[in-house]
Amino acid sequence: MLQENTALIPDMIKQIPLVNYVLLASILFVIGIVGVLIRRNALIIFMSIELMLNAVNLLLVAFSAYNSDPNGQVFVFFIMAVAAAEVAVGLAIIVMIYRNIRSIDIGLLNKLRG
């Protein structure tokens, strides 16, 4: 599955198998998804999405370390930057909506349908 070139991986990391990281990240990711699915508050949904992104970050870092390949960690920085941009835009949209309807409950927004 992975070319585990153990010589290059620090012992600290080797003590925990890769599969545990994957599992942790997956669980975080699923928690994020569930959050998105069951909450109605736009902000909370947004937070859950951020949680999903961070789960991915964790996954990438883990793979990166076990691969002895820095690309993954570089990508994490890209994701963080993009997520920040997304937050800026997302919050702006949420604020805009709050101004207009004094609520950020997504259940109220269903004029466009059919």
Partner 1 sequence: MYPILFLSFSGLITLFLGFFQEGKWVKPATILFLAIASISAFIDWNKPGAYFFNMLQVNNFNLLLSLVILITAILIVAISDNFKEIEYAHSAEYYAIMQFSLVGAIMMTNFQSLIMLFLGVEILSVSMYVLTGTDKRNLRGNEAAIKYFLLGAFATGILLFGIAMIYGGVGAFEIDAISGTLASNQAQSLFLYIGLVMLLIGLLFKLAAAPFHFWTPDVYEGAPTIFTLFMATIVKTAVVFALYRILHQSFQNMHLSWSYILAGCIALSLIIGNLSAVKQISFKRMLAFSSISHAGFLLLGLLHVSKTADKSLLFYSVSYLLASTSAFGVLLALKNERTENGRSNENISVFKGLATRSPFLSAVLIISMLSLAGIPLTGGFWSKFYVLTDAANDQFFYLIVLALLLTAVGVYYYFKPIITVFEKSDIQEAITINPIFKIIFVLTTLGTLVLGLFPDLLYGMI
Partner 2 sequence: MSLILLIPLFPLIGFLINGLGFKNIPKSLVAPIGIGASLLSFVFAFIAYSEFKNTGEVIIVKAFDWITIGDLNIPFSFQIDQLSILMLFIVTGVGTLIHLYSAGYMSHDAGYGKFFAYLNLFLFSMLLLVMGSNYLIMFIGWEGVGLCSYLLIGFWNKNSDFGDAARKAFIMNRVGDLGFLIGIFLIITHFGSLEYTQVFEMAKQYPVGSGIITAITLFLFVGAMGKSAQIPLFTWLPDAMAGPTPVSALIHAATMVTSGIYMIVRSNVLYTLSPVTLNVVAWIGVATALVAATIALFQNDIKKVLAFSTVSQLGYMFIGLGMMAYTSGFFHVITHAFFKALLFLGAGSVIHAMSDEQDITKMGGLWSKIKITAVTFLIGTIAISGIPPFAGFFSKDEILAHTFAHNKAIWVLAMLGSFITAFYMFRLFFVTFTGKFRGTQEQEHHVHESPLSMTIPLMVLAGFSIVGGFIGMPEIFHQPHFLENFLAPIYEGSESVLPGFGNLGISHETEWSLMGLSVVLALVASVFAYVVFVKNATIPKDSSELSGVKKILADKYYIDDLYLKIFSNGTSKLSKGLYNSFETKFLSPLVNSTGTLINFAGKQLTRIQNGTTGYYLFAMGISIAFILVFFLGLDVLSFFKNILGGFSK
**Which residue is associated with the tokens 């604020």?**
95
Which token pair is 98?
A: 């709050």
- Which one of partner 2, partner 1, none interacts with residue 19, CB within 5 to 8 A by kind? partner 2
39-58 positions binding partner 2, by CB under 8 A:
40, 45
Which residue in the set 6, 17, 82, 103 belongs to the binding site for partner 2 (CB under 8 A)?
17
**Which CB atom, from 1 or from 85, has the smaller least distance to partner 2?**
1
Sign of CA dihedral 37, 40, 46, 48: negative
59 near partner 1, judged by CB under 8 A? yes
Phi, psi for 35 (deg, rounded to 5): -60, -45
- Whole-angstrom Cα Rg for the chain: 19
Binding site for partner 2 (CB under 8 A): 17, 19, 23, 33, 36-37, 40, 45, 106-107, 109-114
